[in-house]
Structure 1
Amino acid sequence: MPGEAMHQKGADGARRAKLWLDATTRVSSSWTNEDAVHAARLEFKWPHGEEQPYSFDVGGILSGGEFHGQFFVAECKNYTSDSDQGIHFDDWVAKCYLTRRDQFRLADHFMWITWHPFRVKTWNNLCSAESVKKGLLLERNRVRVFGTSDESEAVSMIDATLAQDVADRMWIFVLSEKQEKLVITPENRALVFTEQMKRGEL
């Protein structure tokens, strides 16, 4: 797929994911990496050997219940096949680890939102500390995260407690076009938020 078309497909996925998250009524504010004001909140620096920063596609603030007021960031994969999604997932978990380690005030939850399942044979293990460690130990991530290409040295630098903490904060959503339509209507969502405002919950 040409670069411009790929960018448009990615931007469309981020927009659709944001709309779906907003429609859950559990998000009080959200933005994408193309937002003129808030995009910088989604961009972070690799600590070693990588000039190009990494970023997430969507971010926001959760509302209500046990997650009220907590920040989330999300990666959106507008895929129609398994493709190379697993490779991107491995990089994503390394980004989650770094963000939680170095910028913990900016992200309490990490969401992977896709339109196609992947790694189905290991699906139940994707949100695990071992999955986080696997992503961190890929050669490209060892260099970018720990500043070394030596695997044993990188292993010694992984914070096992942090890896588990990150795993506990990971969410995976598989959406579909029909599912995107079966959400609260904008009119009813407005009623929900109006009632929450009356109660002082927003």
Structure 2
Amino acid sequence: MPGEAMHTKGADGARRAKRWLDSTTRVRSSWTNEDAVLASRLEFNWPHGEQQPYSFDVGGILSGGEFEGRFFVAECKNYDAASDQGTHYDDWVAKCYLTRRDHHRLADNFMWITWHPFRVTKWTTLCSPEAVTDGLLQSRNLERVFNTKDEEEARSKLDEDLVTDVAERLWLIVLNEKQEKLVITPKHRGLILADQAEKGEI
């Protein structure tokens, strides 16, 4: 797929993911990486090497229950097949590790939102500390995360407690077009928001 078409498809996925998240009524505020004001909250620098900054597609603030006031960032994969999601996922968990380490006030939860499952034989372990470690120790991540090309040296620099903390904050969400429609209607969502505003909750 040409680059421009991929960008368009990706942007559409981010907008659809944001719309679905908002429709859960558990998101107080959200934005995408195309937002003129808040997009900068989704962009971060790799600590080593002359790398382009990395970014997330969607960010926001959750509401209600145990997630009240918690920040989240999300990566959205508007894919029709598993494709190269596994490779991107490895890079994503490395980004989550760095963001939690260096910018923990901006991200309490990390969501991977996709329209197609991937690595199905490892699906139940994708949010484990082992999956985070595997992603961090991919050869392309060694230098930009740990400033070394040696896997053993990188492993010695791993913060195991942080790895576990990040793994506990990972979400895997699989959407499809029908599921996107099976949410609260805009009318009823408006009633909920009006009630929350009347109670001074928003």
TM-score by length of 1: 0.99
Shift of 1:50: 3.1
Matches within 5 A, 1:1-202: 1-202=1-202
Matched letter for residue 177 of structure 2: E
How far does the alpha carbon of each residue in 1:12-46 deviate from its partner, in whole angstroms, 9 at most, with x for none?
Answer: 00000000000000001000000000000000000
Count residues with an aligned counterpart.
202
How far does the alpha carbon of each residue in 1:79-136 deviate from its partner, in whole angstroms, 9 at most, with x for none?
Answer: 0001000000000000000000000000000000000000110100000000000000
SS of residue matched to 2:201: coil
Matched letter for residue 151 of structure 1: E
TM-score by length of 2: 0.99
How far does the alpha carbon of each residue in 1:27-76 deviate from its partner, in whole angstroms, 9 at most, with x for none?
Answer: 01000000000000000000001330000000000011111111000000
Deviation >6 Å, runs of 4+: none
Shift of 1:198: 1.6
Unaligned runs of 5+ in 2: none
RMSD, matched Cα: 0.6
**Distance in 2 between residues matched to 1:156 and 1:76, nearest whole Å:** 31
Percent identity, aligned pairs only, is 72
**Distance in 2 between residues matched to 1:51 and 1:97, nearest whole Å:** 17
SS of residue matched to 1:172: strand
**Residues 51 and 144 in structure 2, CA contact (< 8 A), matched pair in contact too:** no
SS of residue matched to 2:173: strand
Unaligned runs of 5+ in 1: none
**Distance in 1 between residues matched to 2:198 and 2:163, nearest whole Å:** 40
How far does the alpha carbon of each residue in 1:144-195 deviate from its partner, in whole angstroms, 9 at most, with x for none?
Answer: 1010010000000000110000000000000000000010011100101111
Matched letter for residue 55 of structure 2: S
**Distance in 2 between residues matched to 1:137 and 1:50, nearest whole Å:** 19
**Distance in 2 between residues matched to 1:51 and 1:99, nearest whole Å:** 15
**Distance in 2 between residues matched to 1:201 and 1:32, nearest whole Å:** 24
**Distance in 1 between residues matched to 2:92 and 2:120, nearest whole Å:** 18
**Residues 63 and 69 in structure 2, CA contact (< 8 A), matched pair in contact too:** yes
